[in-house]
Amino acid sequence: MTSTLNITPLGDWLAVSDKPFVIAGPCSAETEEQVMETAFGLTGISQVKVFRAGIWKPRTRPGAFEGVGNSGLKWLHRVKKETGLLVTVEVANPRHVEEALDHDIDILWIGARTVVNPFAVQEIGEAIGGRDIPVMIKNPLNPDLKTWIGAIERLNQLGLQKLVAVHRGFSFFNRSPYRNAPMWEIPIELKRLFPNLPVISDPSHICGNREMIPATIQKALDLEMNGLMIEVHNNPVKALTDKNQQITPVQLREMLSKLILRRESGSIEFENKLEELRSEIDKLDEELMDILARRMKVVEDIGTYKKSNKITILQLKRWNQIINDRIEAGEKMGMSREFMLKLLQTLHEEGIQRQIDVMNRED
């Protein structure tokens, strides 16, 4: 994937002084009092620059609270006027865009359920038209980097340059302590492909509970995410949506005060030492690749040998034995079972493919 994005740096449209940059506010706007009380609770927290609240709520099943709709826009307008915070809402269709922009909403965001649909993203982008509004794009529900990138590219091609990606975790079928598995490798790959695109993290929807939020925030910052979107409610236990994951403004302040802010680079001495360790890694990777290439060559030789003797490729007994032996040996060397299993499965898949290629090759 080799596209580039025309992105206006975050710092050009937002005064980010105290790091990390934080967007905070309730999952849903419920009443004018709840919105105003939460917003005023956030005003003393210097990292909070933007107030969020959902007013059109995408719910998994009908019948649940679906947001207060347009009336919430007036409350957000009040927040903007009375606290000086910028305000943002989720939009899912062109009508939402029109309503939000009519009420001077500063930033729009597109939710995980909408980003999966290119038609919807296109329509939202077109409804924004030429207006120079920042848009945040959550990752799609499923762990699909291409769809996430596609939505960002689509908006960028429609002329929107103040774009921010929001990592909110991915729906994942296996058991996991998270509501949405973070799969950090996906936002990291997004940052690698588009270094000028700000990527912020939404620990509330990743965790789904209050307890895991502090460690998840720390991890996001250690992985150089450019900010945070956190759900904050004046009375979380009474929240109409996502009540298990919302925290109070006081709790947010405390969590932010405990964060360790690491620099992305350090002193000359530090850089030199880092360089030394990195070149060690480079050397080891070279050796590792040489060994892997040699291993693949042997796998192909085995394939050729099986072919001439008309033997099948997959030899389950041998494969089981390899898994057991190597996992045990790996554990003795300090590597986890999960890591060894993933590594062996990757090697095995590639090995099988090589042997299939050998079988199909014309002699």
Where do contacts with ligand PEP occur on this chain (CB under 6 A)? 27, 54, 58, 111-113, 138, 168, 205
What does 49 interact with, of ligand PEP, Mn ion, none (CB < 5 to 8 A by kind)?
A: none
For residue 17, which phi and psi values (nearest 5 degrees)?
-100, -60
With CB atoms as reference, the residue minimizing the distance to ligand PEP is 111
**Least distance (Å) from ligand PEP to the CB of residue 113?**
6
**Least distance (Å) from Mn ion to the CB of residue 286?**
46
**Least distance (Å) from ligand PEP to the CB of residue 251?**
18
**Least distance (Å) from Mn ion to the CB of residue 168?**
9
Cβ nearer to Mn ion, comparing 164 with 358: 164
Of 248, 137, 243, nearest to 190 by C-alpha is 137
Contact 170, 139 (CB under 8 A): yes
Of 18, 25, 38, 13, nearest to 227 by C-alpha is 18
Q: Which residues neighbour 229 within 8 Å (Cβ) at sequence distance 6 or greater? A: 22, 23, 24, 52, 136, 166, 168, 200, 201, 202, 204
Q: Which of residues 230-249 bind Mn ion (CB under 5 A)?
A: 242
Cβ nearer to ligand PEP, comparing 88 with 355: 88
CA distance 356 to 353: 5
Q: In a 3-state reduction of DSSP, which class is residue 135?
A: strand
Where residue 189 falls (left for φ over 0; alpha for ψ -120 to 50; beta otherwise) is alpha
Cβ nearer to ligand PEP, comparing 56 with 194: 56
**Least distance (Å) from Mn ion to the CB of residue 231?**
6
Cβ nearer to ligand PEP, comparing 20 with 303: 20
Q: Which of residues 19-78 bind Mn ion (CB under 5 A)?
A: 27
In order, the DSSP letters of 144-182 are -HHHHHHHHHHHHHTT---EEEEE--B--SS--SSSSB-
With CB atoms as reference, the residue minimizing the distance to Mn ion is 27
Cβ nearer to ligand PEP, comparing 121 with 299: 121
For residue 247, which phi and psi values (nearest 5 degrees)?
-125, 165
What does 266 interact with, of Mn ion, ligand PEP, none (CB < 5 to 8 A by kind)?
A: none
CA distance 155 to 170: 22
How many residues of this chain interact with Mn ion, rule: CB under 5 A?
A: 2
Cβ nearer to Mn ion, comparing 25 with 125: 25
- Give the interface with Mn ion as residue ranges (CB under 5 A): 27, 242
